[in-house]
Chains A and B, each alone.
Chain A
């Protein structure tokens, strides 16, 4: 990744230009051709720097009002991660190091569904099927901060 790639990322970060040829516009701003913009983005995808380019949507506007973090205490040898990750509305599924004696939950999912009862239904049904008896559903009551983990600095040179 060189300075030109960083400039492209900086231009892309606030959002794609809403015009017929957005990559040509990015090229104009970064001093390269449309073709080069596209091939550089393709290369950043191939090397895994860019996972994808997609719309970030405000789920509340389409009626998805419930957000829950679910902490699961799974039994030794449990291996249902792909089944858990595939549940409707699950955006994240992580294995984490618990705090023995204080907080025994090692598997974490983030759920986005229409209502709290829909989350409860999906979670309890899954727990029943999988024989998981200890889990906690933590609904969010306020979003205090939400930004991408990786952000491009205004200068385009420092990336965090």
Chain B
């Protein structure tokens, strides 16, 4: 049997904008999301292997992944690369104290640097927190100085917290709730 290309629950309006009509996620979806956050089986037919894990066919597995991608639950399925293997040996977390009305302008300056991967506005005196990864501490210091100069942030409104050690990096969202022993 062939499945049609149309994805259940996703309808396209005349303007081409996707409208989620039925975005209900069932238990099988949650099992699938948990399985997909583990390392993908490195076999010629990985979706078949994942399907076997959660008790659905390869076809259904693929169809569910497509639906969850269309509805924005899954961003993509991609490799996590080890930054140190790419020469990114130094990192820091920076916080700026910025008046509310300057946040957008300063964020644009910060975000223009490819060395900045994460930048969040936070509910605190230090209102912007961002990470810089670089080849060396020297390179990072140079970038910080440049951003400070461009954005006009004095030293007293800034903290830099260089990474000494990472104990955990594993962005994973458990979908099937843990037992009550948590």
Contact = CB atoms under 8 A, between A and B. Distances in A.
A63 to B, nearest CB: 9
A23 B83 contact: no
Given A54-B80, A144-B128, A145-B130, A108 B161 contact: yes
Nearest to A86: B168
Contacts of A132: none
A91 to B, nearest CB: 4
B77 interface: yes
B148 interface: no
B163 A94 contact: yes
Interface residues of B, number: 80
B168 A93 contact: yes
Interface string B56-78: 00100010011001011111111
B46 interface: yes
Interface string A109-149: 00010000000000000000000000010111111111111
Contacts of B123: 138-141
Contacts of A62: 25, 30, 33, 73, 173, 175
A50 interface: yes
A12 B79 contact: yes
A138 B165 contact: no
B117 A146 contact: yes
A159 B36 CA distance: 26
Interface in B67-103: 69, 71-83, 85-86, 88, 91-93, 95
Given A15-B76, A62-B30, 18 more contacts: A13-B78, A16-B77, A22-B46, A56-B78, A57-B74, A58-B72, A61-B23, A62-B25, A62-B175, A64-B173, A96-B93, A138-B129, A139-B123, A140-B123, A144-B128, A146-B118, A149-B83, A160-B115
28 contacts: A9-B81, A16-B46, A55-B77, A56-B76, A57-B36, A57-B73, A57-B75, A57-B173, A61-B73, A69-B120, A69-B122, A88-B182, A91-B172, A93-B168, A94-B166, A95-B165, A99-B160, A103-B95, A108-B161, A139-B122, A140-B122, A141-B121, A142-B120, A145-B110, A147-B118, A151-B114, A159-B86, A160-B86
